[in-house]
Structure 1
Amino acid sequence: MNLDPSFIWTAGLSLLQALPETLWITFVSVAAGLVIGTVVALCRMYRIPVLSQLSAAYVAFVRGTPMLMHLLLIYFGLPVVIDGLSAAMGWSFTSASIPLIGFVWIAFSITAGAYMSEVVRAGIQAVDKGQVEAAQSIGMTTIQTLRRIILPQALSVSLPNLSNSVIGMLHGSTLAYTISVVEINAQAQIVAADNWKYFEAYIAAAILFWVLTILIERISGWLEYRLNAYQRGGTL
């Protein structure tokens, strides 16, 4: 087999067509996962009855099963639930109304939520308890303490781990091809299928993922610097 360097460039240009889909999968999954993870972490830390136990079971199950399994369970299981409810309630909405990427968003958000809950929980635990006690002593409610004292500092502490989660979700987006969502990995297969130059196509895909990963690391480093400067009393 002879390597065709020119086709790597050609394939790379073609892969850019699938870049928006990959970025959407990553962004939506991470954003929704961060919200889910924060709620789950707070439920566990404040030991809210029932919700605390459900949250612990959710985290244990998701972290103990593969990401691909989550996608397949949602893809095959959610339509059964939606169509059953639609038939029982007389709704016009069915699983056929959900775009394929919608299943990916739901599954990957559930996955990200479990992992990010541990990141958020660790960040909250890193905040000095003295600050929390000081906030409560001046009459701040729990919600105010979380919003003004705990969560901003927890975000700063958790940023390196959060950036790792973003990178992990970016790489995990390649699993979306299993349900026919055309992201970078699937596009590489499509490009290579015409002339069987799979090696060159996958090199182009690897380079693209590498560049995206470097960008995420640089953005994360910049945000971490700015947040730390702000907390030291500097200006943003």
Structure 2
Amino acid sequence: MKIDPVFIWTAFVKLLSALPMTLFITAISVGAGLVIGSIIALLRIYKVPVLQHLAAFYVTFIRGTPMLMHLFLVYFGLPALIDAVSGAFGWTFKSSSVPILVFVLIAFSITAGAYLAEVIRSGILAIDKGQLEAAYAIGMKTPQALWRIVFPQAFAVSLPNLSNSLIGMLHGSTLAFTVTAVEIFAEANIVATTNWKYFESFIAAALLYWGITLLIEKAVAVLEKRINVYNRGGVA
């Protein structure tokens, strides 16, 4: 088998058109996952009756099942639920009016939320309880103490795991092609069908993913350095 270096470059350039979609899916999924994960982590840490058990079940179920399954459950299940509710209330709204991308984002956000919940929970638990007690001593309420004292420190502690989750979701976004969302991997398949040079096309896709991953790692390293300088009392 002969490799066509020229086509690798041609495919790489064409794949750039799908880069915004990949970054959008990754950013929204991780952003929503952070919100979901924070809520789940707090429910478990403060042992909220009933809700803590539901939160624990959510985490164990999502972490114990494949990401592709989450996508299919949402992609096939949510439209059926929407249509059933719409029919019961006599609404004209149908699931067919919802863009496929919305179902992808919901599924990936649910997945990210479960994994990030454990990252956030471990980060919060790593903070000395004396920090929270000191915040209470100067009159702060729990939400204020969490937002101003605990979360910033937990973020610094959890940064390496958060970056791993971000990279994992970037790579997991390739599953969106199974429901016809055109991200980098789907575009690689489309480009390859023009002359059946799948190997070259996937090499181009791999290089693009690798490049994005390197940029994320570099950005996290810079951010971690600035945080460490700040924690030592210096100026970033």
Q: TM-score, normalised by structure 1?
A: 0.98
Distance 1:73 1:228 in 2: 42
Q: Give the C-alpha shift of residue 181 in structure 1.
A: 0.5
Does structure 1 residue 172 correspond to structure 2 residue 176?
no
1:22-171 matches, within 5 Å, as 22-171=22-171
Q: Which runs of 4+ in 1 moved over 6 A?
A: none
Partner of 2:16: 16
Distance 2:91 2:31 in 1: 30
Structure 1, gaps ≥5 residues long:
none
What SS does the corresponding residue of 1:140 show, helix, strand or coil? coil
Q: Give the C-alpha shift of residue 176 in structure 1.
A: 0.4
Does structure 1 residue 210 correspond to structure 2 residue 210?
yes
Larger mean Cα displacement after TM superposition, 182-191 or 220-229:
220-229
Percent identity between matched residues is 64
What SS does the corresponding residue of 2:2 show, helix, strand or coil? coil
Q: Give the C-alpha shift of residue 134 in structure 1.
A: 1.3
Distance 2:198 2:67 in 1: 25
Q: Over residues 44-77 of structure 1, what are the superposed CA-to-partner deviations in whole Å (9 max), with x where a residue is unaligned?
A: 0000111101100000000000000000000000
Larger mean Cα displacement after TM superposition, 111-120 or 124-133:
124-133
Partner of 1:198: 198
Distance 2:102 2:65 in 1: 21
What SS does the corresponding residue of 2:124 show, helix, strand or coil? helix
AA aligned to 2:151 is L
Total equivalences in the alignment: 236
What SS does the corresponding residue of 2:235 show, helix, strand or coil? coil
Q: TM-score, normalised by structure 2?
A: 0.98
Q: Give the C-alpha shift of residue 4 in structure 1.
A: 0.5
Distance 1:230 1:99 in 2: 44
What SS does the corresponding residue of 2:105 show, helix, strand or coil? helix
Structure 2, gaps ≥5 residues long:
none
Distance 2:158 2:216 in 1: 15
Distance 1:90 1:219 in 2: 50
What SS does the corresponding residue of 2:101 show, helix, strand or coil? helix
Distance 1:150 1:92 in 2: 47
AA aligned to 2:50 is V
Partner of 1:222: 222
Distance 2:151 2:3 in 1: 51
Q: Give the C-alpha shift of residue 235 in structure 1.
A: 2.9
Q: Give the C-alpha shift of residue 148 in structure 1.
A: 1.1
Larger mean Cα displacement after TM superposition, 69-78 or 124-133:
124-133
Partner of 1:186: 186
Q: Give the C-alpha shift of residue 228 in structure 1.
A: 2.2
Distance 1:48 1:232 in 2: 36
Q: Give the C-alpha shift of residue 94 in structure 1.
A: 1.8
